[in-house]
Structures are given as C-alpha cells and as structure tokens.
Amino acid sequence: MALATLTNYMTPTGREEPWRFTPLNRLAGLHDPQVSLRDRISLEPLDIPVGVSVTIEDAEAFPSLSETSDQIVIRVREGASKLLLLTIESNAEIREPIFLKREVLDLSPEVSRVQINAGANSHAIIVIENSGEGVFAEEIEFNLASGANIKFITLQEWSSRAVHVARHHAIVARDASFTSFVITVGGSLVRILPTVEYTGPGSTAELFGLYFATDGQHLEHRVHIDHDVPGAKSRVNYKGALNGDSARTVWIGDVFIKAAAQGTDTYELNRNLLLSHGARADSVPNLEIETGDIVGAGHASTTGRFDDEQLFYLMSRGIPAEQARRLVIRGFFSEIVSKLNLESIEVRIMERIDNELAEVIA
Amino acid sequence: MSTLEIKGLHVSVVTEEGAKEILRGVDLTINSGETHAIMGPNGSGKSTLAYSIAGHPKYTITSGSVTLDGADVLDMTVDERAKAGLFLAMQYPVEVPGVSVSNFLRTAVTAIRGEAPKVRTWVGEVKEAMSQLSMDPAFSERNVNEGFSGGEKKRHEILQMELLKPKIAILDETDSGLDVDALRIVSEGVNRVKTNQDLGIMLITHYTRILRYIKPDFVHVFAGGRIVEEGGPELATKLEENGYAEYVTA
C-alpha cells in the first residue's frame, strides 16, 4: 500500500497547470506526502428524514465511482479508511433539507470521504455547513440514478485560518438533475473542484457559486464538466467579490463537449467585482468542442471594479455611502442567493458579507 | 419657503491635458415655487452645473458657493445634500442590478425621512404615485433602471422626486428620449409635485418642447460655462426661432 501510494503520487510543485494559481505553502501539508493526515469522519447529520439513511462504512467496500488525477483527492482516497454514506431511497420526496454539519476546532490536517447515492426519481436538498478552523481534504461523490433531482448546498463559513481542499463530483444519469451552490466566504485557502459527468440523455447540471474574499484569503473554484453523452445540459454561474489588497480568487470553468455529445446545451458565466485596487481575481473559462451538432455552447467572464456611478446614484437619493455599497453588493449577489430558497441561510450569508465589508471600511 | 443660491461658481474637471474649467462664474437663485429653465447648446456646461450641485466626485469646485437656506451645500456629502432637500433627476439614470425598485425606494425614503415609512400607508403611497405616472405596479419588482426604456427611466426619476419630497429639484434633460405621450405624463408629474409641495425647479433642457408642458417663470441662456442672458418665458420663444448661434460665437 505504501509503495502504491508513492508510485501514484506526485507531489505538486506549483508548475502544473491545475496548481499554478494555488499557493502550495498555505496548504498546511495537505499535498505533502511527508505530512500524515488524520483519518476520521467529521460530518455530523442533524435530523435524518424518513427515506434517507446516513451510515459510516468501510471505505474498501465502497470504491470510488469516478477517476481523478488530483493529487490531494488521491490522498483522500488512500488515507480514508471509512466513508460517510448518505442514501436517498428511490422515489423518496424529501421536502425538508438534510443538514450535515462540520465544525472543526483544530488545525490538524485530515481527510473526509463521502458518497451520496440518490435513488431513481428521488428528490432532496442536502446542505453541508462548514465552520470553525480545520485543515481539510475532502471528496464527495454524488451518484444520481435516473430521474433523481438533487440540490446540494455547501457553505464554507470557515474562520480565517481554515484550509479546505475538495472535489465535489456528480454523476448524473438519464433525466436526472443536479444543482449545486458552492458558497465560500471564509477560510485562509479554499480550493474546490465542482465536477460533473453524465451517463444518460436528458440530464442536467446547474452549478452556482458565490465567493467573497477579504485580505489574506485565497478562494479558488475549478468547475469541470464533461459532456460525453448526447442531450445533456449544463449551466454555470459563479459570482465573486474581493475586498482587500491581498484578497485572491481563482475561477476556472472547463467544459468539454466530446464527439458523442450531440445536442449538448451549455453556458457558463463568471463575474467578479473588485472592491479594492490590489485585489486580484483570475477567471479562465475554457470550452472545448468536438462536435458541431449541439444546441448551444457559450461562456462569459467579466471582472470589474465597483461602479462609482451606482454609488453616486444611490447617495444622491439620500442613502449613506456605506449602506449604498452594501446595497450594490447585495444586489450583485442576489442573482445567486435568491435561488437558494432557504431564507435563514440567505440572511446569514449576506450578514456575514455586510459585516466583513463594514470591518474593511472601518 | 426655500432658496437655493449659487454664487460665482467655478468648476473644473481633470482631463488628460490637466484641469479644464467648465463653469466660469455661475450666479443663480431659485426659490420655492419657481421654475427656472436653463437652456443652452450641447457642451455649454448645463449638466456640469447639475452634477456639481448634487456633489458628483468628478467635478472640482474651484471657487464660488452654493447654499440651501443658508446652509453650505458644497460642504455636504452627496447623501447629505439629498437629505437637505436637493434632488437631481438624471439624464442617464444608473442601473443597479439585483436591487429592486421597491427596496430602493423604501431605503431612500427611510434615509431622507429619518425613519422607515409605515408599511400600510407606504404601499398605498407608492401605488398612487405610480398610477399617476401610468406605471404598472409590477414595475416595483424590477431591478433599478435595468432594462428600462427611456420613458420608464424618466418616469422612475419623477416617481422618486414625488416620494422623496425635495425642496429644490434639478431636472437634467428630463425631456430627452421621450415621445410625446411620455413627455406629457412626466411633465404632469413634475407640475403635480410643484403644486403640492411648492417645489423650486431648475429645468435643464436643450429644446423648448418641454416648456409647453412645464411653464418656466424664468429662462436663463447658458453658454461657455455661465449664464449669458436672462429673461421671462418670452426668451424661450426667441430661442426657438433663432437657436443658440448668437451665444455660441460670442
């Protein structure tokens, strides 16, 4: 096992394309084979509704469902002896969100492996709430059977020292629909890979994201969607704001339309709002198309500064500067936040952003 | 009774070639209930006057004063000027994505009045003001100025004026981009606010068309960054016939 690990594992140096934006020295050893990773289950389910089961399983009994070349994800697979398995029964219609909470209070690097199986025609909303300060390498695999409809919300409300590196991979079968919201407002370094593959036609993935980085934060989201079956649809919309001269964000949007994927319909969008001069947002959409027989494929990426004309307009109606800024930023994010349909979370996220804005202004 | 008093106002903007003076000594006094038309050719500095009074950061006041009932307007932040009773209806109202008209109006009115309006009366107040401007109630759920037609933007400006109840309003080319019907609706709105709230108005326009609907008490011809001629409504008639040629060459 140890030998196999060494042969499979190449320590990233930062020169590799997938790692070129990531400050490796701030990964707290997650990428370094010399640093051992704690092996435990850190997610805790709150209420588990009828039709859903959450169990701890031997990792060997549940092999990985997908391929990855990400070195840290490989470490998760090798380092996790147990996994958390969440199963939604076929045809189950779970109305209340299923909450899984992770609150970590120390900085020992650790792994977390999760599999979520959604039975045929099941409907559910899954919310993962991350808070505290941990150092985490995580893989979550979603396996959606035909007709399943899963909405997944992951909240990164970490405190300022946390490190969180994750791959969230969805396998979407015929007529199934996967919607994700990746909301990252905390952490020293967060690097999340929301990835999708399709196994049947009529399948849909909608990936939404919101990130807000302040001084000292590196928040990276690397979307990857493989269209290799006909008639699947994808939509991506990530919005980020940066406040503080050392705030950094990275958004990569890779969409591949293989020759077999006739009738593909895809569009991806990333918008960044720079609230201070030194802040830097990298945004790299990438669309590769091997068949012309598609419904549509497009992408857009914009990174702009805060619009002083908006501020002037609002202030000229009596609204004080700080409140006007908050209004504009809330407006910028509302397109994403309003789709959550979970009021308590909407309020909490926007309040956190308001507070961080106020701190910087003060 | 309120008075906006502009004295010897000089204003510059920063350009690539350095500071450029746009306003060269403007003197103008506007009292409650008076309508002053500021007419002039493009590039004469009319909009600079409007934005300088409202406090746009692009413009630097190099000398002169602006007071509202004796208070120094130039010493106030942009929002303080609005709270003091000034309102600028903009030629190009700004889009604010993701912020609904209803949220925006409520936030602005709360800021100006110093307390949140009572929910029950507020809804009725907005509804009535919107219906008088022939605006669909669904309008309030749209994002501020996003995707609005030219006419919708101007109606939305006048709606704000009606709800914010300023003492002095500056209307910057409110007639531009309006068809005849929209011009009539917007003008009726302005006249209604003027009558109900004893509003003083600075009406900036290039054309005399809007003056058929909003009757000025005074007409000021603006050219080269200052007022070059003043008179009553008859001056507008003269401008309609002769244009600005004699002022531009001067």
Give the one of A317, A320, A327 whose C-beta lies nearest to B160's C-beta.
A317
Same domain, residue pair A233 and A351: no
- Last residue of one domain, picked from the residues A257, A273, A305: A305
Tell me whether residue A356 is in a domain.
Answer: yes
**Are A103 and A222 members of one domain?**
yes
Q: A326 and A194 in one domain?
A: no
Task: Tell me, yes or no, whether A360 lies in a domain.
Answer: yes
Are both A100 and A202 inside the same structural domain?
yes
**A291 and A358 assigned to the same domain:** no
| Chain B residues in contact with A335 (beta carbon < 8 A) | 97-98
- Residues A299, A311 within the same domain: no
Residues A284 and A313 occupy one common structural domain = no
> Do the domain assignments include residue A197?
yes
Task: Check whether residue A38 and residue A158 sit in a common domain.
Answer: yes
Cβ distance A314 to B57 less than 8 Å, yes or no, reads no
In a domain, A1, yes or no: no
The CA–CA distances, whole Å, from A156 to A37, A190, A284, B10, B142 equal: 21, 8, 22, 53, 31
Beta carbons of A84 and A43 less than 8 angstroms apart: yes
Please indicate whether, in this complex, the C-beta atoms of B94 and A320 are within 8 angstroms of each other: no
pLDDT band at residue A106 under the 50/70/90 scheme: confident
**HSE on the CB side for A288, CA within 13 Å?**
8
Probe site for chain A from B52, B56, B78, B158 (most A CB atoms < 10 A): B78
Name the residue among A309, A316, A327 with its Cβ closest to that of B99.
A327
- pLDDT for residue A2 is more than 60: no
Q: What is the pLDDT of residues B70-128, one digit of tens each?
A: 999 999 999 999 999 999 999 999 999 999 999 999 999 999 999 999 988 999 999 99
Amino acid at A230: P
Chain A residues within an 8 Å CB radius of B89? none
pLDDT tens figures, A282-295: 999 999 999 999 99
State which H helix or E strand residue B5 sits in: strand B3-15
What percent of chain A is modeled with pLDDT above 90? Answer: 90
Q: Which residues of A touch B (CB under 8 A)?
A: 307-310, 312-321, 323-324, 327-328, 330-335
Per DSSP, the three-state class of B3 is strand
Dihedrals phi, psi of B72, to nearest 5 degrees: -75, 105
In what order do the strands lie in the sheet containing B3-15? B18-31, B3-15, B59-68, B71-72
Q: By CB neighbour count within 10 A (0-12 exposed, 13-18 middle, 19+ buried), where does A62 fall?
A: middle
pLDDT in tens, B156-213: 999 999 999 999 999 999 999 899 999 999 999 999 999 999 999 999 999 899 999 9
Number of domains into which chain A is organized: 2
- Across the interface, do B111 and A320 touch by the CB < 8 Å criterion? yes
Let me know whether A357 and A287 are in one domain.
Answer: no
> Is a pLDDT exceeding 70 seen at residue A9?
no
Q: Using one digit for the tens of pLDDT, what is the confidence trace for A338-357?
A: 999 999 999 999 999 988 88
Which residue range(s) make up the domain with A101? 6-305
Residues A235 and A353 in one domain: no
Structure tokens at A194: 């929301």
Give yes or no: residues A355 and A276 share one domain. Answer: no
Answer yes or no: is A279 within a domain.
yes
Q: Is the domain of A318 the same as that of A175?
A: no
